Amino acid sequence: MVRQQMLCVLTPGWTGDTQTLPALKGGLDALFDSLGFVHFASIALLPPRPGEPDTALPSLMLELAIDEGMQTPLLLELLVARGLEALWPLYGAHADADLPASREARATWLRHWLTKHTHGANGGFVGARDRTVRQIHSEHALYRAVRDQATRLTTEQRLDSEELARRLSLWAVEADEFVWARTPAPRSFFRRGGLGRALALLGGVAALLVAGLAAAWCLKSAALAWYWQWPALVLTTLAVVVVAALAALLLSPLALSALSAWRRAWRPVSQSLKHWDRARHARATREVPRAHQVHPMVARCEAELIERPNHIVSLTELRSPCVWHGVWLRLWLGVITWFGRWCFVNGVLGKARGIKYGHWHVVDGGRRLLFCSNYDGSFGGYLGEFIAGATVGVNLFWRRTRLLPRRAAAPGHPAVQHARDFPPTRCLAWHGGCEHEQWFKTYARDSMLPHLYLYQAYAHSQAEIERATALRDALFGPRNPVNDDIIARAVES
C-alpha cells in the first residue's frame, strides 16, 4: 500500500550530536545500497513543540521511501541485520545502561526500538508507480544504451522514424544483456487496462443508486403511512415520476431563464469577491516576508542538490482544537490517498508532475503535521505545480495547520520567529488558500527544516523514469506507428 511505502522513524528526546552525522554518511549509504529497495532516505532534526520548556530536546526523524510490497517488519529486520553498526550511533544512547554489549543484544533492542517508533504515512503519493529501485536502474541503463546506439546509427546515414525504430528494436532483441527487458514492465492490477477509471465510474453509479434507493425508501414510507397498500405505493411512485418529468419538461425554459438571471445578478458579487481577494493578497505580500528569504541552512541543502532530485521536510502545528482538525485532516488524507491509489493510477498528483514521493504524518500525539517529499526542479517550481495542479488537496490538508513561534532544533537551524497562518480559504476550503502565491510560499518556506543526511538511489528525473519504461515496452513490443514514435521521441529528447 502507498502508506507503507513511506515510513518515518521518530525518536523523541534525541540526545545525540548532529556533528557526528557526516561521519555516518558512508556507512548509511552502504547500508541502503546493500538493501536495494530504498529509493530515498533522509535524516532531520525536528524542533520541540511550541510552548515546551527550554530544556526540551528535539526529535530525530529517519524518513524512508521503499519499494512497494515490502512489509515493515521485514524492513526493520533487514535494517538491523545489515546496518547495526551504522544505526547504533543514532539510537544507542537510548538503550538501557545495563544492556549487554553483545551484538545480538543490541540488535534485539534496536529492532524493538525502531518498531516502537516507526510511523506509516497517514497519506501518501507515489509518482514512480509500480517501479522498484532495481527496475529504475535497469531501465535507465537500457535507455542510455539505446540512445548511444541511435547516435551511431544516425551518424552513418539518415533514417526515418520507422526504420530507426526497427533497427533499434532488432539490436535490443539480439543483445544478451537486455534479456530481462523482453518481459513487459510490471503494472499493478489497477493500472492494467484502465481499470481505475472503470472503478471510479462504478463508484459514481453506486453512489447514485444509493441516493435513489434512499429516495425510494422515503417515498415508500410516506405512501405506506397514508395508504397502507402496496398498489397505492406503486401508483403514487408512477404519479410522482410522471409529474416530475412533466414539470422538468415544462419548466426547463423557466429554469434556464432563472439560471441566466441568477448569473447576471451574481456577476457583481463575483467581481467584488475577486477585488477583495486581490486586496487581501496584496496586503499579505506586504505584511509577511518575501518567499525568497530562505534560511541559510535550508538554502545550502538545496544548493547541494542541483541537477538531482530535491527534497523538502515541512513541519507545522495543527490548529486548535487539535482533535477536531486532526480528525478532518486524517479523513481527507485517507480519502485522497485511497482515490490516488485505486482510481487515479497514473502517478500524477492533480496536474503536478515531477513529484516522486510525498507523504504526510500526523505526529506528536496528533498536534503536528510532518510532510516529506522528493521532487524534480526548484522549490518555487514545485510549489507552482501545487498551485496550478493540486490546489484543492493543498487547501484541504494545510488549512488545518498553522505556524507558531518555535526555537531552533539545534544551533544554526531555522526557528520560527513569528506566527504564520495558512492563507484564508473559502467555499469549504476549495478556493483561495494556496492560490495566494506569495503568502503560501512564505508559509511553506517558514515551515521547512534542513536535512542532515540524504540518500538517493538514483538521480533521474520523473520524466526520464517514465520515458525509460515506455521505451522498454516499445522496443520489445509489436512494431506499429505508436511504438515507433515512442522510440523516436526517446532517442531524440
- Within a domain: 410: yes
Closest by CA to 369, choosing from 451, 447, 436, 453, is: 447
Q: In terms of domains, do 379 and 423 share one?
A: yes
Give how far the C-alpha of residue 237 lies from the chain's centroid of Cα atoms, to the nearest Å: 48
Q: In terms of domains, do 101 and 140 share one?
A: no
Q: In terms of domains, do 446 and 299 share one?
A: yes
Q: In terms of domains, do 310 and 353 share one?
A: yes
Q: In terms of domains, do 124 and 140 share one?
A: no
Which domain range does residue 171 map to? 133-184+460-492
- Within a domain: 240: no
Closest by CA to 457, choosing from 134, 178, 76, is: 134
Q: In terms of domains, do 464 and 485 share one?
A: yes
- Within a domain: 74: yes
Q: In terms of domains, do 12 and 81 share one?
A: yes
In tens digits, what is the pLDDT along the chain, a chain of 493 residues? 466 689 999 999 998 888 888 899 999 999 999 999 999 999 999 999 998 888 899 999 999 999 988 889 999 999 999 999 999 999 998 998 888 889 999 999 999 999 999 988 998 888 877 889 999 999 999 999 999 999 998 888 888 888 888 999 999 999 889 999 988 888 766 566 555 555 555 555 556 556 655 665 665 566 555 545 555 556 566 666 666 665 665 555 555 566 566 666 666 766 676 666 666 656 655 555 554 578 899 999 999 998 899 999 999 999 989 999 999 999 888 888 887 777 666 666 666 677 888 899 999 989 999 999 998 888 888 887 777 767 777 888 888 999 999 999 999 999 998 888 888 877 666 677 777 778 888 888 899 999 999 999 999 988 899 899 999 999 998 989 898 889 888 888 6
Q: In terms of domains, do 109 and 155 share one?
A: no
| 118 in Cβ contact with 9 (< 8 Å) | yes
**In which residue are the cell numbers 538511489 written?**
457
Q: In terms of domains, do 121 and 142 share one?
A: no
Identity at 18, one-letter amino acid code: T
Cβ atoms within 10 Å of 220's Cβ, excluding its own: 15
The per-residue b/e assignment along 464-474, b for 16 or more CB within 10 angstroms, e otherwise, is bbbbbbbbbeb
**Helix pair 161-174, 481-492: axis angle to 10 deg:** 90
CA angle, 310 as apex, 388 and 336 as ends, to 5°? 45
Total number of domains constituting the chain: 2
Q: In terms of domains, do 13 and 101 share one?
A: yes
| 351 in Cβ contact with 389 (< 8 Å) | yes
Cβ atoms within 10 Å of 291's Cβ, excluding its own: 20
- Within a domain: 146: yes
Q: In terms of domains, do 364 and 441 share one?
A: yes
Q: Which residues contact 327 (CB under 8 A, 6 or more apart)?
A: none
- Within a domain: 124: yes
